[in-house]
Amino acid sequence: MAAVGLLGAGAALAQGAFTAGELMRGLAATGDSATAFVETRHSSALKTPLVTTGELRYVRPARLERRVRTPVEERYVVEGDDVTIERKGGAPRTVSLASQPALGAFLESIRATLRGDLATLRRFYRVEIEGEPAGWTLVLLPSDREMADLVSVIRITGAGGRLTGMEVVETSGDRVVTRFGEGAR
């Protein structure tokens, strides 16, 4: 294993490879962001894929807001260690992320990436990176057992300090594919 790791490191050095640390420094230097998203769940349980659209807003350092426009209006606000869920016709509900570890790990995959917080990502995932600064893919492999029971891998793609897409592959076989940016409309 050590030898393979060493070979890999050598190969990476030879290519002057882009590291997760460099990516995170770049993301950490990026300011607040807001982007439209289109999310599609491809599932063996469904006859047709389930499409959700809305906006994703990130305010440094710890606020992440996911506003869904279609098919049903809904708002998820992650703030610190809590997530508040607002649905049409219902009172807002606040849940501690600690009490919902899988949900917490999932939301952190986006929030910690946007913050450029490698330490937090590594609390939940084994982190790998592919590509170059202008077009990179962050590969997150769940290390938390509960999360690993649900999710096989999360791939986040981006360019520079901007996220362009995300793919979640569940252990159920479902894939949830998200595209970010104005082009997503």
Partner 1 sequence: MKRGAIVALWIAGAVACAWIAVRATYTADLTAFLPKSVTPAQQLLIAQLRDGIAARLVLIGLEGADDPALAATSRALAERLRAIDRFAYVANGAGGLAKRDRDVLLEHRYQLSPGVDAARFTAAGLRAALERTLELLASPAGTLVRPTLARDPTGELAALLAAHADRAQPATRQGVWFDTERRRALLTAETRAPGYDLDAQAALQAEIAAAFAAVRTDPAMRLVLSGPSVFAVQSRAAIERDAWRLALVAGIGVAVVLYAAYRRAALVAFGALPVMTGLLAGVAAVATAFGPVHGITLGFGATLIGEAADYSTYLFAQRARGETLAGTAARVWPTLRLAVLTTMFGALAMLFSSFTGLAQLGLLTFAGALAAGVVTRYGLPALVPGRWSRTDPPPVLAPAALGRLARAVRKLAALVPVALLAGAAVLALRHATLWENDLANLNPIPEAEKARDGEMRDALGAPDVRNLLVVAGASREAVLQRFEELEPALAQLVARGAIRGYDTPARYLPSAAAQRARQAVLPERAELSQRLAVAMQGLPFREDLFAPFLEDVERARGAPPVEARDLDGTLWGLAARALLVELDGRWAGLAPLSGVSDARALAGLDPAMSLLDLKAESDAMVTAYRDQSLALAGLGVLVIAAVLILGLRSARAVIDVMLPVLAAIVVTAAALAAAGTRLSLLHLVAALLVLGIGTNYSLFFSRFAPDDDERLRNAYSVLVAAATTLIAFGALATSGTAILQAIGTTVALGAALSLAFAAAWSQPRS
Catalog residues that contact partner 1 under the rule CB under 8 A: 39, 41, 43-48, 50, 52, 66, 68, 71-72, 74, 76, 81, 85, 87, 95-104, 106-107, 119, 123, 146, 149-151, 168, 170-172, 174, 176
Give the three-state DSSP class for 96: strand
- Would you say 18 or 154 has its CB closer to partner 1? 154
Q: Please say which residue, 41 or 162, places its beta carbon nearer to partner 1.
A: 41
- Token pair of 139, please? 């590969």
> Which residue, 14 or 119, has its beta carbon nearer to partner 1?
119
Given a contact cutoff of 8 angstroms between Cβ atoms, the answer to whether 140 and 5 are in contact is no
Cβ burial 39-70 (10 Å sphere, 16+ → b, else e): bebebeeeeeeeebbbebebeeeeebbbbbee
CB of residue 136 to partner 1, shortest distance in Å: 23
Q: Residue-wise over 95-134: b if at least 16 C-beta within 10 A, else e?
A: eebeeeebbbbbbbbbbbbbbbbbeebeebbebebeeeee
CB of residue 96 vs partner 1: minimum separation in angstroms? Answer: 5
Instruction: Please identify, using beta-carbon distances, which residue of 35 and 43 lies nearer to partner 1.
Output: 43
For the bound state, the minimum distance from the C-beta of residue 130 to partner 1, rounded and expressed in Å, comes to 23
Q: Which tokens sit at 34?
A: 């807001």
Q: What angle do CA 24, 174, 151 make, to 5 degrees?
A: 45
What size, in residues, is the chain? 185
Distance (Å, rounded) from C-alpha 59 to C-alpha 110? 12
Q: Which is nearer to partner 1, 19 or 172 (CB)?
A: 172
In the complex, minimum distance from the CB of residue 23 to partner 1, in angstroms, rounded to a whole number: 21
Pick 29 or 119: Cβ nearer partner 1: 119
CB of residue 20 to partner 1, shortest distance in Å: 18
Query: Minimum Å distance from CB 94 to partner 1?
Result: 10
